[in-house]
Amino acid sequence: MMSRRSLIRRRLALILIMIGSILTVGGVILFFTTTDSSYESEEYDSTEETIEVSDAVQEETASSSDDVETSEPSSSDETGTEETTSSEDISENISITAELDYFTDDFSDPEGDIFMMADGTVSQEGEVPTFHTVSLISSKIGVNPKTAEDSDNLLVILSALPDREMNIAVLVSADSSEISGTTPDFIQGLQWTLSYSGGEFNKTERLVTGDGKITQLAAEDFNIRFIGNEVTAEIEFFGPPGTIYYAVMIYDETYCTLILP
C-alpha cells in the first residue's frame, strides 16, 4: 500500500511540475509579446510626433518668408532713398542728343519725337492727341504787337485745337553745344512757355540748369499770341531782336512732343 501511495504522489508531483513549467513558459512568452507591442507603439507615436513638428516648422518658415516679401516694399517706400531701374526700363528710355541748331525761315510738317511725361519713354503710335502734330514752324523778323518794336518771331501752327490743358514752350538759349533730354524739365536752357490751364492762357519763363535746378523768371522779355482758328491753332512768340529759337516743346499731362530744327 505504501509503495502505491508513493507512486501516486510522484505522478502528482510530476503533473504539478509540468503544469508549473507550462505556466512559466506561457508567462515568459506573454511578457515578451507585450513588451514588443508596447515598443512598436511608442516608436510609431514618436515618428508621428516628429512629422507634425516638421510640418509646423515648414509652416512657420513659409509665414516668415511671406512677411519679409510684404515688408520690403514698405521699407523702400519709407526711406525713398533708392530707386531701382530694370534693364527693360533702361532699354525703353531714349535720350535725344542733337547738335545745337535753330529755326530759320519756314519749316513745313516738321516731325517731332514724342515721349511719355512720366518717365521719358517713347510713346506708342496712335495714342497722341492731334494737336501735338505741327503743320508749320516759321521764323521771321517782325514787330511785337504789344510794344510796336522790332522783334524776332517764331510762329507755330498746330494741326488741331487743343482739347485739354497743355503747354507749348520754346528754347531760346542753351549752355552747351548740344540739346539733350526728353521732357522740358530735363532740357537745359532758357524756356519761354505759353500754358493753357483752368480756361486761361499764361506765359512763363524759366531757366533749367545741368544740376537739375529750375528757376522761374519774370517773363517780361517776350510776348506770346494765341489764335484759335476753326480747326488749327496758331501760337506766335515775339522776342527781342537777336532771339534764336532752338527747339519747340508741346506737352500736356501725358505726352511731350520735342521738335528740333
Q: What are phi and psi of 164, to 5 degrees?
A: -160, 175
Q: What is the pLDDT along the chain (261 residues), one digit of tens a residue?
A: 445 666 666 777 677 677 767 777 666 666 655 555 444 444 434 333 333 333 333 333 333 333 323 233 333 333 333 333 333 333 344 556 778 899 999 999 999 999 999 888 887 666 899 999 999 999 999 999 999 999 999 999 999 999 999 999 999 998 788 888 889 999 999 999 999 999 899 999 999 998 889 999 999 999 999 999 999 999 999 999 999 999 999 999 999 999 999
Distances (CA, A) of 182 to 112, 142, 165, 173: 11, 31, 20, 17
The three three-digit cell numbers of residue 217, written as one number: 523768371
Question: What pLDDT is attached to residue 30?
Answer: 64
Question: What pLDDT is attached to residue 25?
Answer: 64
Question: What pLDDT is attached to residue 97?
Answer: 76
Q: Where are the domains positioned within the chain?
A: 1-84, 95-259
- Contact 218/189 with Cβ under 8 angstroms? no
What amino acid is encoded at 181 in this protein?
G
Q: How many helices (H) and strands (E) does the chain have?
A: 2, 14
* DSSP 3-state of 234: strand
Question: What pLDDT is attached to residue 3?
Answer: 59
- For the chain, give the number of residues: 261
Question: What pLDDT is attached to residue 32?
Answer: 58
Q: Give the list of residues 6+ apart from residue 73 with CB closer than 8 angstroms, or none.
A: none
